[in-house]
Amino acid sequence: MKFKKQIFGFMDMLRFKKLVPNRREALANGPADPLPTEYRTNVLAHRLHPGRMEVELVDAVMVTPTIRKLTFRRTDADAFPFFRAGQYVSLQSPVGDSLVSRPYSIASSPREALENKLVLGVEDAGFFSGYLCRDAKPGDRFVMSEPSGEFHYETLRDKKHIVCIAGGSGITPFVSMAKSMAEGDEPYEMTLFYGARTAQQLAFRDELDALSAKGLKVVYVLSDETCDGCEHGFVSAALMEKYVDIRESSFFLCGPQAMYDFVLKELAPYDLPRKAVRKDAGSCGNREVSDPRTFRLTVHVRDKVCEISAQENETLLTAMERAGIDAPNKCRAGGCGYCHSKWVRGEYVVADGRDGRREADRKFGFIHPCVTYPASDIELIVPVGE
């Protein structure tokens, strides 16, 4: 073929010759104004996802005999990011020689975040939560992750009506979700079943009662006592049938494993699609090992190397925290991938049902230390804490 655009082919050739001079000239004639240092989309990205935040505990009050309501403000900015009700933050602090983090669902609303207020409800049930419930006091400083997690409503996925089922401190995300609905930021209709042994163990009850005047339908379900205005027993299908259309609802569950087991068994006969029921994932704890051995864990962080000990029954993340290493982590349930680390050598075991790694992670030897236990001496390359 002979390509020609203009009558004489050489004119096409001439145009080609000008490509470079034209570009050279355009580059030389760009505006001399200073280059931007900020871009709106990037500013919003940073507001929504600030990474680690510095916070101060401003108020702490026991709301049940075992649950403490902790209110924080940011000290490195004048507001928390707007978030999706149902999300959690991870709170970090040195405790003794350890540097400990734990995820907690947010109980305050996304609008309150903009007023520099973020509330957690912490149950006195473990090493760090025990510290938070008993030792932490107003004025204490912490590091907090940005709000994270996928335990929240999705308009295009979920039914208009949602059924939320809470047990114990599992009530916290639902307080936020109810508030966010009342504040007009969420489009759902919400029925909340809140199970506890006794009325005294119901946290955030004043707030929930106030929200029921703003559209929240709340049903308290007590297993160990009867009282006016409360159901007695457990959150069974028969009980739910009294209040909601099970087949026309999306379910959100947050509470202890025993509650999940019970509710899922109750819902099984309905044969709901998998998408209809979501559970908030709890932190991964120790694994049962009789007479756990102690292994040597070698950790590379950038160009530093540490040798520490690791217990067979504790996660690799816990071992690193105990040694005061600032290893990245967020969900502690194997899912968020934030602790993603390179395995170098040694044997390990991943907690049952918690392997949230990508397929290629397994192929190329990456692990999530938050759900991985050592089974021999082991060596890892861990990214620096943010």
Partner 1 sequence: MGTQTERTYDAVVIGAGNGGLAAAIRILQGGFSCLLLEKHNLPGGFATSFKRGRFEFEASLHELNDFGSPDAPGDIRTLFRDLGVEEKIDWIRIPEAYHLITTDKQYDCEMPFGVDAFIDKMEQYVPGSRKSMTEFFELCNEVRDAQTYSNSVNGNTDSDYMKSHFPNFIKAGSYSVNEVLDALKMPKRAQDILNAYWCYLGVDCDRMSFLHYGSMVIRYITRDAWMPKMRSHEISLAFDARIRELGGDIWYNSEAAKILTDKDGHITGVELADGTTVRTHHVVANCSPHLVFGKMLDRSAVTEKMVRATNARTFSGRGFTLFLGLNKSAEELGIKSHNYFIYDTADSVKQYDLMRKVETNHVQATVCLNNAFPECSPKGTCIMYFTTMFMSDDWGNVTETDYFKAKDRMAEDMIRVFERETGCKIRDAIEEICVASPTTYARYCGHPQGVIYGYETADWDSLMPRMMMMKEDAQLFPGLRFAGGYAMRSSGYSSSYVSGDLSGRQTVGDLKREVR
358 interacts with partner 1 by CB under 8 A:
yes
Q: Among 56, 140, 150, 379, which residue sits at the site for partner 1 (rule: CB under 8 A)?
A: 150
Question: Considering the complex, what minimum distance in angstroms separates the CB of residue 12 from partner 1?
Answer: 4
Residue 113 or 218: which CB sits closer to partner 1?
Answer: 113
Between 68 and 357, CB nearer to partner 1 = 357
Structure tokens, 338: 């934030």
Is residue 103 involved in binding partner 1 (CB under 8 A)? Answer: no
DSSP 106: B
Q: Which of residues 294-353 bind partner 1 (CB under 8 A)?
A: 301-304, 325-326, 328, 335, 337-338, 340
Contact call for residues 204 and 63 (beta carbons, < 8 A): yes
β-strand partners of 91: 102, 144
User: Residues 155 to 174: which contact partner 1 by CB under 8 A?
Assistant: 155-157
Tally the residues of the chain. Answer: 386
**Cα(190)–Cα(200) distance, integer angstroms:** 24
Which residue type, as a one-letter code, is found at position 218? Answer: V
DSSP per-residue codes, 33-81:
SPPPS--HHHHHHHHH---SEEEEEEEEEESSSSEEEEEEEESSSSSPP
Residue type at 296 in one-letter notation: R
- Quote the CA–CA distance of 117 and 370 in Å, as a whole number: 29
Interface of this chain with partner 1, residues 177 to 196, rule: CB under 8 A: 185
Q: Which of residues 31-50 bind partner 1 (CB under 8 A)?
A: 31-37, 39-42, 44-49
Closest residue by Cα to residue 377 from 343, 342, 339, 345:
345
- Chain positions 273 to 292 lying near partner 1, rule: CB under 8 A, are 273-275
Which residue lies nearer to partner 1 by CB, 68 or 179?
179
Nearer to partner 1 by C-beta: 235 or 277?
277
Q: Indicate whether 4 belongs to the interface with partner 1 (CB under 8 A).
A: yes
Nearest approach in angstroms of CB 166 to partner 1 is: 21
The contacts of residue 274 (CB under 8 Å, 6+ apart) are: none
State how far the Cα of 252 lies from the Cα of 179, in Å rounded to an integer.
16
Query: How many residues make contact with partner 1 (CB under 8 A)?
Result: 76
Which parts of 196-235 interact with partner 1 (CB under 8 A)?
A: none
Q: Is residue 229 left, alpha or beta, with left meaning phi > 0 and alpha meaning psi from -120 to 50?
A: left
Q: How far is the CB of 342 from partner 1 (least distance, A)?
A: 8
**Which of 55, 81, 218, 231 lies at the binding interface for partner 1 (CB under 8 A)?**
81
Q: Closer to partner 1 at the Cβ: 103 or 328?
A: 328
Give 146 or 231: the residue with its C-beta nearer to partner 1: 146
Question: What's the token pair of residue 170?
Answer: 């599992």
Cα–Cα distance between 220 and 233 in angstroms, integer? Answer: 10
What does R_g of the chain's alpha carbons equal in angstroms?
A: 26
Window 231 to 260, contacts with partner 1 (CB under 8 A): none
Nearest approach in angstroms of CB 91 to partner 1 is: 19
Interface segment toward partner 1; rule CB under 8 A; list 25-33, 201-209, 233-241, 371-379:
25-33
From candidates 60, 66, 73, 82, binder to partner 1 by CB under 8 A: 82
